[in-house]
């Protein structure tokens, strides 16, 4: 990967991380983005994340990040789950987005893999929220 692409990727990740802490829907209080820190033992800083399905009609981003040098993978317990779509993992970062087409509250459980070792099984809840 070129230096430019690496810098751009890191900037996008930094924006997602900062958005996760502060961006909540003004009426519902639900998050419009989430950044999850994955520890070395595979545990996460937030066992359950609740996101709205969409923000201004667009899907909401979610990302997972482990320490540099670790290989991170996210595996859905139900491969047919409909909460989160478009998951992509590269090295120590995985990204995805909510399913903006959800019509009901949906809960999806997943497993975190660090360096091919299964760890914890947190939950993502996506509320059918917001236009």
User: How do residues 61-75 score in pLDDT, each as one tens digit?
Assistant: 999 999 999 999 999
Q: Quote the CA–CA distance of 90 and 94 in Å, as a whole number.
A: 6
Q: Note the pLDDT tens digit of each residue in 8-36.
A: 565 455 444 444 444 444 444 567 889 99
Is 97 in contact with 86 (CB distance < 8 Å)? yes
In which domain, by residue range, is 104 found? 3-127
Q: Most confidently modeled of 89-98, 109-118, 120-129? A: 89-98
Q: Residue 108's closest CA among 81, 79, 80? A: 81
What's the structural domain count of the chain? 1
pTM: 0.73
Q: Mean pLDDT across the stretch 74-88?
A: 92
Q: What is the pLDDT of residue 18?
A: 42
Query: What CATH number is attached to the domain comprising 114?
Result: 2.60.40.420
Residues whose CB falls within 8 Å of the CB of residue 112, separated by 6 or more in sequence, listed in order? 38, 42, 43, 44, 64, 72, 73, 74, 118, 119, 120, 121, 122
């Amino acid at each position: 990967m070129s230096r430019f692409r690496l810098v751009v990727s890191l900037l996008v990740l930094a924006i997602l991380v900062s958005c996760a802490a502060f961006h909540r829907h003004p009426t519902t209080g639900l998050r419009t983005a989430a950044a999850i820190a994955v520890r070395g033992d595979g545990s996460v800083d937030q066992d359950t994340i609740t996101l709205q399905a969409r923000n201004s009609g667009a899907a909401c981003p979610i990302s997972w990040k482990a320490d540099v040098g670790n290989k991170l993978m996210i595996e859905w317990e139900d491969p047919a789950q409909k909460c989160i779509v478009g998951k992509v993992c590269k090295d120590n970062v995985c990204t995805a987005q909510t399913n903006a087409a959800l019509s009901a509250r949906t809960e999806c459980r997943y497993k975190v893999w660090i360096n091919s070792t299964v760890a914890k099984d947190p939950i993502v809840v996506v509320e059918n929220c917001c236009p």
